[in-house]
Amino acid sequence: MTPVKVTPVNLTRRQILEGVTAIGASATLATVLPMPALAESFSPMELQKPGLLEDMFIGDSAAPVTIIEYASLTCSHCATFTLKTFPYLKKEYIDTGKVYYAMREFPLDNLAFAASMLARCAPKEQYYDILDLFFAQQRKWAFTQDPLGNLKAMARQIGYNDKTFEECLSNQDIIKGVNESRDRAHTEFGVKATPTFFINGEKHPGALTVEQLDKIIKPLL
Residue 142: is its pLDDT beyond 80? Answer: yes
- Residue 20 has a pLDDT of 53
Neighbours of 99 (CB within 10 A): 25
Does 7 fall in a domain? no
CATH code where residue 95 lies? 3.40.30.10
- Residue 11 has a pLDDT of 52
- 72 CB burial (10 A radius; 0-12, 13-18, 19+): buried
Mean pLDDT across the chain, nearest whole number? 86
Does 50 fall in a domain? no
Sign of CA pseudo-dihedral 142, 59, 52, 118: positive
Does 51 fall in a domain? no
How far out from the chain centre does Cα 157 lie?
A: 20
Pick the more confident residue, 11 or 206.
Answer: 206
Q: Which residues pair with 126 in a beta bridge?
A: none
Question: Which domain range does residue 88 map to?
Answer: 13-31+57-220
pLDDT digits over 143-170, tens only? 888 888 999 999 999 999 999 999 999 9
- Residue 111 has a pLDDT of 92
pTM of the full predicted structure? 0.85
Residue 75: is its pLDDT beyond 70? Answer: yes
| Dist. CA 76–CA 207, nearest whole Å | 10
Asked whether 78 and 194 are in contact (CB, 8 A), the reply is yes
Does 6 fall in a domain? no
Q: State the DSSP string of 23-78.
A: HHHHHHT-PPPP-----EE--HHHHTS--SSPP--EE-TT-SEEEEEEE-TT-HHH
Whether the link from the prior residue into 8 is cis, omega within 30° of 0, is no
Sign of CA pseudo-dihedral 118, 119, 125, 126: positive
Does 127 fall in a domain? yes
Q: Inter-axis angle of helices 110-121 and 127-136, to 10 degrees?
A: 150
Does 182 fall in a domain? yes
Residue 4: is its pLDDT beyond 80? Answer: no
Does 70 fall in a domain? yes
- Residue 13 has a pLDDT of 56
Residue 1: is its pLDDT beyond 50? Answer: no
Count of structural domains, the chain: 1
Does 47 fall in a domain? no
CA distances from 165 to 29, 70, 152, 192 (A): 24, 24, 8, 30
pLDDT digits over 99-126, tens only? 999 999 999 999 999 999 999 999 999 9
Residue 48: is its pLDDT beyond 80? Answer: yes
